Structure 1
Amino acid sequence: MAIALRYAARSDLGLGPKSRNEDSGYAGPNLLVLADGMGGHAAGDVASSMIVGELAPLDEEDVTADQAIPLLEEALHAANAKLTKAMRENSDLAGMGSTTIVMLRTGNKLAMAHIGDSRAFMLRGDTFSQITKDHSFVQQLIDEGRISREEAGHHPQRSVVTRVMTGQPDDEPDTSLREAKIGDRFLLCSDGLSDFVGADVIEEIVREARTPAEAADRCIEVALKASTRDNVTVIVAEVVDADGDDLPTTVPQVVGAAGRRMRGRTRAIPTSPAEKAAALSRQATGRSDADDDSLELAEDRTRSRRSKIVTRILAALVIAAILGGGGYAAWAWSQKQYFVAADAGRVAIFRGVSQDIGPITLSHLESQSDVRVSDLPVDVQGSVGNTISARDLADARTKVDALRTEAQRCQHLAQTGTPCGTSPTPTPSTVPSTPPSTAPTTPTVPRPSTTAPKPTTTTPPRVAAAGGPGAIGEVA
C-alpha cells in the first residue's frame, strides 16, 4: 500500500527579546526539514535558511531506500560547505550555526538525519516517543550516569549543545531509516517548544489533534502561553494512504527565517522546492537576480512596478554602503560582543570576538573573576578554554555566576572526598589574555536562559542553544 504525507509547518518569533526569527522550516510531499539557527552566534537566521535552501531540492528526488541515507549525508555536507564559504566571504557571518532535522520519504520508509538538540517525536498507536537523541552536554551527563533526567532540567549547563552545523568538517549527523505506517504522526520541533512545554503536554496535543495543521497551531499556542523566550517552530506530519480518503498535502510550506518575507506570520508559504532553494540561496548570500521575478512570494505580487524599482534601487544603495563601510562596521559590531574565557587560570569576561584579523586583536579583557578554571570539572574547563559566547555583558556575568556555582559545588565535593565528575586537569601557569587568533574547532556557546540561541560526545561542548524556565508539565 502506497503512503503519502499530510503535513503542516508553523513558526513564531516567541516572547523573548529576539528581533528576528532564527528558525527555519520546510515541509513538502517527500521532505521535512527543521533548522534552528544559533542565536548566540551572528546570523543564525542566515545559517538555518541556507541549510533549508540546500536541502529543499531533495523533495523532488526519486530515490530508493538504499540511496536515501547517502543522499541526505551528501546534501548536509554540501550545506555545511556553503556555511564555510559564506563565513569566509562575509566576516559578519562568522560563527553562525544551526541544528538540523531532516526526514526524506522513500517509498514506505523515512530516512532521517539529525544534528543538535532540536527534537523529533513519533506517535504510533498508543506509544509516543522521542526518536532523536539530543547532542547536548546534559544528555552526555545522563548517558554517563552522572545526573538523572530530572536533574538535567535544572542543570546550569542544560542549554549547551555539543554538535551542530557550523561549517566544520566534523559536524556529522546521526542517521536512521525506519518503516512508516499509516496513522503514524511525526512532530519536528525547535527547543522553543521542547524547553518550555513538557513532553506529556506535547503528546496530548499530537494525539488529540484532528489534523496536522491543528496540532501545529496548538503547539505554537501552548508554547506562547508557556512564555517561551525562544523562537518556536514545529512541523507535524501524518502518514496517510495515498489512495485513501484522507488527502495528502501537495503544496510545500516554508516558515520562519527561510520565509522571512512573511514577517510576524505563522502561515506557511507555498512554493516549489527548486524555486525556494534558489531564492534562499540568493537571500542568504546577499546576491540578487533582478531578472527573475518568478520567485516572488505571494504577498509581493500586489506591489506596483514602481515600488519594485524603488526597492531595488534602495537595495543597491544599501549594498554599496555595506561594501564601503563593511570593515568599520564589522569592527564596531565586534566591540559590542562579549564572551567568557580563561585568563591567567581564572574565568574572565572578554569584550569583542575570539578571533584576530592579522595583527589586529578583536577582543580585550573586560574583567577577571575569582573563579579558578582548575576548580571546574574537566569538561567544563574545556568549554571555558574554547570560549563561551554571551549575548551582552549582563549575560556574560550570568554565565560567570553559573560557573562559580559549579566550581563551589566541586570544592564542596572535594572536601567530602567525593570526586566532581572527571578530575580537573592542572591549569597552565599562564594563559593568553586574549583568545586564540583562529576560531576554535569546537566552539562552546551556552544559550542564555532568556533567549533561544540559536558549534561529539567525547569533545568539549561547542555551541549553546536556548532554553529557560517556565515549562508546562514535565521537561522534555
Structure 2
Amino acid sequence: MPATFATESHTGLVRRGNEDAALAQPPVFAVADGMGGALAGEVASGMAVAALAEAAPGTPEELASAIREVNGSIFAQATGDAGRSGMGTTLTAALAGEGSVTFVHVGDSRAYRLRGGLLEQLSSDHSLVAEMVRRGELSEEDALAHPQRSIITRALGVDADVELDSFSVELAPGDMFLLCSDGLYSMVPEPAVEKILNGSGDLAVAARSLVEAALAGGGEDNVTVVLFCPDGAVPSGDGQGPGAAERGSSPPAGGTAEGGPGERAVRNAGRWRDWRVLAAVALALVIILTMATWYMTRQVYYLGASEGRVSIFQGLPLEVGPVSLSSLYRQSDVSLDDLEPFERERVLREELTSLEAAEEMLQNYSGRQGAEAGTDREDAGRRPSATTATGTGF
C-alpha cells in the first residue's frame, strides 16, 4: 500500500510572517523553520525544502548530500547579501525506504514516531537548553520556560560546513511519523500530542487538530506539522472531520399511531409556521454572511500575478460564480521571470497576508531587481492563514 501523508501549517497568533516550510513528496518528507526575519528566514526554509524536492533523493546518502549542498547555497546568500545576513533554517527530513526510515536532522525541529499508541521523540534538539538538559543542568520542565530556549546551536546556512545527525529506524506495521517545528511542541505537551494522534481517524484530521491545539495553547510561534505512514495504515483523509453521529430515533415503546385529519391539520399548520421561521433565519444568515464576506475582502491582501508581473491584490483569491472576491490593488514592474523559482511559486500560491507585509515583500523583490539588494525587515508577514496538503504515494 502506498504511503499516506498530511501537512498543516499556520502563522500562529503572535507572529505576522510564517518562516516555516514543509515538504511531503513521498518517499521524502521534511519540515524547516527559518530564522533571520521573514525576508530571510522564509527564504532559507524555502530553499531547503525546494532543494530536496528538486533533488528527489532515493538513498540516505543522496538525502544527506542534498542537504549539505543546500547548506552551502544558503550560507553563500547569507554572506553575500547584507539584507539576508544571519539567515538560516532548521531541517528535519525523512526518507521512507523498504523496511526502514532514515532521518537527517539539524536544529530544533523534531521527528517523532507513534508505535503501538506510544509517542517517542526520535531526534535530538540542537539548542542551548537541550544541551543543558542533556548535561543535567536543567530539567525538561524548566527548559520549556527558559529565556534562552530559542537559541539553537546548529542550523543550515550558519557555516560553510554543517554537522548533521543521520539515523535510521526499522519500520513496524502501523508506524506513524510526525515531523514538526518548535511551534507545536512548545505549545502542546507530548501527552496531548499522543492523545490527538491516537484519537484521530485520519492524518488530515490529526494534522489539523495538532495545529489547533498549538493555537489554543497560545500560538506564540509558527507551527507546522507533517504526518506520514509509510505503509498507509492510517488514511490521509479528505479534510473532513470524524464521521457524524448517527441521526434519527425510534418511536417510544408503546407509542400510538398518528391521529385523524384534525391532528394532521394542526401538525401541517405548525410545519408551515416552522418553515416561515426557518426561511427568515436563513435570509438573515445570508445577509450577515454577505456583509461579513464583503468586510473580509477589504481587510486582506495577497501577492499574485497580473500580466506576468508581481502585483498586490485586495480581497480573497476566490470566485463565486462570475463574481471575483478580489481586485487589483497595485501592479509592479517586477516580472515573474526575474524571481527565484521558489519565490515565483510563492507568488503564484496567492497566500493571504496584510497590506503592509505585501508591500514590504514587493519592495524586497523590486529592490533585488534593481541595482541594490533590498534590506530585511524583521517580522514582515507572509500570510495569516493555514495551509494544508494531504495525499498518498510512493
Evaluate the alpha carbon distance shift between residue 227 and residue 148 of structure 1 in structure 2; reply closer, same or farther with a 3 A threshold.
Answer: closer
Report the alpha carbon displacement of residue 320 of structure 1 after superposing the two structures with TM: 5.8
Native 8 Å contact 1:50 1:284 kept in 2: no
CA distance in 2, matches of 1:37, 1:283: 24
Evaluate the alpha carbon distance shift between residue 146 and residue 5 of structure 1 in structure 2; reply closer, same or farther with a 3 A threshold.
Answer: same
How large is the RMSD of aligned CA atoms in angstroms?
3.7
CA distance in 2, matches of 1:80, 1:285: 23
Aligned to 1:11: 9
CA distance in 2, matches of 1:108, 1:82: 33
Aligned to 1:190: 181
Native 8 Å contact 1:142 1:149 kept in 2: yes
Q: What letter is aligned with 1:4?
A: P
Report the alpha carbon displacement of residue 22 of structure 1 after superposing the two structures with TM: 0.3
Q: What letter is aligned with 2:339?
A: G
Report the alpha carbon displacement of residue 220 of structure 1 after superposing the two structures with TM: 1.0
Match of 1:96 among 84, 87, 94: 87
TM-score by length of 2: 0.62
Q: What letter is aligned with 1:26?
A: L
* Corresponding position: 1:70 with 2:61: yes
Native 8 Å contact 1:10 1:217 kept in 2: yes
Report the alpha carbon displacement of residue 150 of structure 1 after superposing the two structures with TM: 2.1
Report the alpha carbon displacement of residue 72 of structure 1 after superposing the two structures with TM: 1.6
Evaluate the alpha carbon distance shift between residue 12 and residue 285 of structure 1 in structure 2; reply closer, same or farther with a 3 A threshold.
Answer: farther
Report the alpha carbon displacement of residue 157 of structure 1 after superposing the two structures with TM: 1.8
Native 8 Å contact 1:4 1:248 kept in 2: no
Q: What letter is aligned with 1:22?
A: E
Structure 2: gaps spanning 5 or more residues: 238-302, 305-312, 317-334, 352-361, 380-394
Q: What letter is aligned with 1:145?
A: G
Report the alpha carbon displacement of residue 155 of structure 1 after superposing the two structures with TM: 2.3
* Corresponding position: 1:221 with 2:274: no
Structure 1: gaps spanning 5 or more residues: 250-259, 266-281, 301-314, 338-390, 392-476
List aligned pairs for 1:286-325, cutoff 5 A.
286-287=339-340, 321-324=367-370
Aligned to 2:53: 56
Evaluate the alpha carbon distance shift between residue 43 and residue 194 of structure 1 in structure 2; reply closer, same or farther with a 3 A threshold.
Answer: same
Native 8 Å contact 1:13 1:230 kept in 2: yes
Summarize deviations over 1:338-363 as a string: whole Å, max 9, x none. xxxxxxxxxxxxxxxxxxxxxxxxxx
Larger Rg belongs to: 2
TM-score by length of 1: 0.52
Q: What letter is aligned with 1:209?
A: S
Q: What letter is aligned with 1:44?
A: G
Aligned to 2:110: 119
CA distance in 2, matches of 1:320, 1:208: 48
Summarize deviations over 1:117-146 as a string: whole Å, max 9, x none. 111111100321111111111111111111
Report the alpha carbon displacement of residue 82 of structure 1 after superposing the two structures with TM: 1.1
Summarize deviations over 1:62-89 as a string: whole Å, max 9, x none. x4xxxx3221211111111111232344
List aligned pairs for 1:460-475, cutoff 5 A.
none
CA distance in 2, matches of 1:154, 1:131: 22
Aligned to 1:326: 372
Aligned to 1:156: 147
After TM superposition, what 4+ stretches of structure 1 lie above 6 angstroms from structure 2? Answer: 246-249, 282-285
Evaluate the alpha carbon distance shift between residue 46 and residue 4 of structure 1 in structure 2; reply closer, same or farther with a 3 A threshold.
Answer: same
Evaluate the alpha carbon distance shift between residue 72 and residue 288 of structure 1 in structure 2; reply closer, same or farther with a 3 A threshold.
Answer: closer
* Corresponding position: 1:26 with 2:79: no
Q: What letter is aligned with 1:51?
A: A
Report the alpha carbon displacement of residue 97 of structure 1 after superposing the two structures with TM: 0.6
